[in-house]
Chains A and B, each alone.
Chain A
Amino acid sequence: MSNKKTYWSENISLIIKCLAIWFVVSYGFSIIFVEYLNNIRIGGYKLGFWFAQQGSIYTFVVLIFYYVYAIGRIDNRHGVSN
């Protein structure tokens, strides 16, 4: 029983970590702080604009694959993978 409980709480904290990044790149960098970030430039892109139209999407893709990898390790450690 306790094994199942720690498995679930580790999963929850992994989810919260991932969603925090999800929130920061989209709502933080791309909307709330966009004007500050626009002062920084990479090539022709203003950074805030880049996050809103490119960077946030790349981050989302990486986040899902990272979650798959990390939860897979937690699965194995708890012997719950099928």
Chain B
Amino acid sequence: MGLQSLTLIIVGITFAIYIGIAFWARARSTEEFYVAGGDINPIANGMATAADWMSAASFISMAGLIAFLGYGGSVFLMGWTGGYVLLALLLAPYLRKHGSFTVPQFISDRYYSKTARVVAVLCLIIASVTYVIGQMKGIGVAFSRFLEVDYDQGLMVGMIIVFIYAVMGGMKGITYTQIAQYVIMIIAYTIPAIFISFMLTGNPIPQIGLGSTIKDGTYLLDTLDKIVTDLGFDEYTTHARLSLFNMFFYTLSLMIGTAGLPHVIMRFFTVPSVKAARLSAGWALLFIAILYTTAPAVAAMARLNFITTIEQPGEESNLSYVNRPLWFKNWEITGLLKFEDKNQDGLIQYDGYKTNEMIKVDRDIMVLANPEIAGLPNWVIALVAAGGLAAALSTAAGLLLAISSAISHDLLKGVFRPDISEREELKASRFAMAASIAVAGYFGFNPPDFAAGTVALAFGLAASSIFPALMMGIFSKNMNKEGAIYGMLAGIGITLLYVFQHKGIMFIQSTSFLGNMEPNWFLGIEPNAFGAIGAIVNFMTAYIVSKKNDPPPKEIKEMVERIRLP
């Protein structure tokens, strides 16, 4: 059977599962819509959280990034997992104890202020919308590559699927689909990794294969180091990105940002108890770690296979362009792989110098092309397509729920119409969900130029505004509303200013008044890594402002005492 029909069948089966779950898990109350009734098993919630968290970026882009960055790519591995330690120890149990439906609701209760709630909603919406655009694009790209349909048509199909289960089921429908999506995603990611690890090293466990020897008896990583340095690239296992100092802050920003992203925090409102919330964070990280510890192996092995396929030691033995393999041709069509025969010898030369003839090797193709490069059977390649779609759909749904509940629960019920009945609120939340999908879809069809840089903004905002406000709300009884509000505004303010001054206002290049140049960076910290500094500014501002204003009322201090006990 051909690759395309196999892909159609496998993707079709997974979509049928998602729609089946949608009909089975309909939400009948606002509690079911926002927090899935609050009785999800901690292991099930861990799985759903893992799918919610691991997006198209984790599934498709991360291993590709590591493949080209080597050791420098570790910031993503540690940053996107270490945040769960902060979440489990500092936030999740206490927020679960408080028992709110949304993150801004906790901020509003704790800081006895509707202004704080509106500021939190604003941060949440900016962070989540920028994040969801990337997912929509991922859905369109995955469809267009694997089903050879139009980008627009693919996106439309994806939107309809999310629409069905998210509008009908709310958090309940999303939770059960995410569990299915996790299973599909993890199978799709590990099976090709196991195959490739076994073929290269004889060990089927990728985490061990990466530290093992290849056929000629040398260690895989040593061979890779030697090949890349011989070709003029940076050494794989030691080359840091920019500087160790920058890596430190980049990792810290990603960790704090991870712990502050509302669509992840919300998942811990769905479990029955404080104990379950703690445990669930552990399960979530375990399920995430299965993919995240496989990714470095995928990265190194993909890089090795990619180089050894096209570039052989000794110039005459290079692959000739006429004889290039099928996957090479397929990816050339998409424009993500480009060759230019600079010296007109008909052979492909790939190195880190000016003589390099592979003028474009898009990092995003590494995971998707990896099974093809290694010559794995078609059903494995089809499975990877279904996995990539599951990753993008599950994260998009979680983000859309965070956005729509902020609108219906925090703005409508919390601020503008507190007297709204439950039935009306449920209707409003479904309407807000449909509207959020439409807005996200619009950006998917017309991806703004700034889409690529926006993930930095999402993490920066979550790190610099939401995380400090939540943490101080739990660990400092004396933090008052003035401190929290000014802290959030200062944190976002400085982070936005730093990102925009180096990357352009709303990412329009010509408006970057300081230029995206290393010498202008504060202490050599790149804009993507600035969220941690924003968080520090938030903490300091909040502390100073809180000292100059009245402490919070007695009942708030009692509330903090209450949430500290399980």
Contacts and interface: CB of A to CB of B under 8 A. Distances in A.
A64 B248 contact: no
Contact of A64 (B237, B281, B296): B281
B564 interface: yes
Given A44-B220, A60-B285, A82-B273, A52 B89 contact: no
Given A31-B248, A43-B219, A80-B566, A53 B77 contact: yes
Contact of A45 (B84, B211, B282): B211
B85 A56 contact: no
B71 interface: yes
A24 B176 CA distance: 37
Contacts, number: 124
Contacts of A50: 211
B251 A60 contact: no
Contacts of A35: 238
Interface string A34-47: 11001000111110
A54 B213 CA distance: 18
A18 B211 contact: no
B88 A64 contact: yes
B142 interface: no
B564 A49 contact: no
B293 A44 contact: no
B244 A32 contact: yes
B514 interface: no
Nearest to B219: A44
Contact of A81 (B212, B222, B248, B275): B275
A50 to B, nearest CB: 7
Interface string B366-407: 000000000000000000000000000000000000000000
A14 to B, nearest CB: 9
A43 to B, nearest CB: 4
A82 B82 CA distance: 28
Interface in B266-314: 273-275, 278-279, 281-282, 285-286, 289, 292-293, 296
A71 B93 CA distance: 11
A44 B211 contact: yes
Contact of A43 (B66, B212, B274, B296): B212
A50 B88 CA distance: 24
Contacts of B237: 38, 46, 49
Contact of B210 (A45, A64, A72): A45
B420 interface: no
Interface residues of A, number: 42
Contacts of A58: 289, 293
Contacts of B281: 64
Nearest to B73: A53
Interface in B548-566: 561, 564-566
Nearest to A80: B565
Given A34-B244, A52-B78, A61-B282, A81 B88 contact: no
A40 B260 CA distance: 36
Contacts of A61: 282, 285-286, 289
A4 B565 CA distance: 8
A57 B77 contact: yes
Contacts of B210: 44-45, 54
Nearest to B72: A52
A82 B96 CA distance: 13
A70 B292 CA distance: 26
Interface in B79-94: 81-82, 84-85, 88-90
Nearest to A33: B244
A23 to B, nearest CB: 9
A72 B212 CA distance: 39
Nearest to B300: A53
Contacts of B292: 57
B293 A67 contact: no
Given A43-B219, A45-B221, A52 B77 contact: yes
A68 B251 contact: no
B29 interface: no
Contacts of B244: 31-32, 34
A22 B85 contact: yes
Given A49-B238, A65-B282, A71-B278, A4 B77 contact: no
A70 B252 CA distance: 26
B457 to A, nearest CB: 24
A18 B296 contact: no
Contacts of B279: 68
- A-B pairs, 4 with minimum CB distance: A44-B219, A52-B74, A64-B282, A43-B211
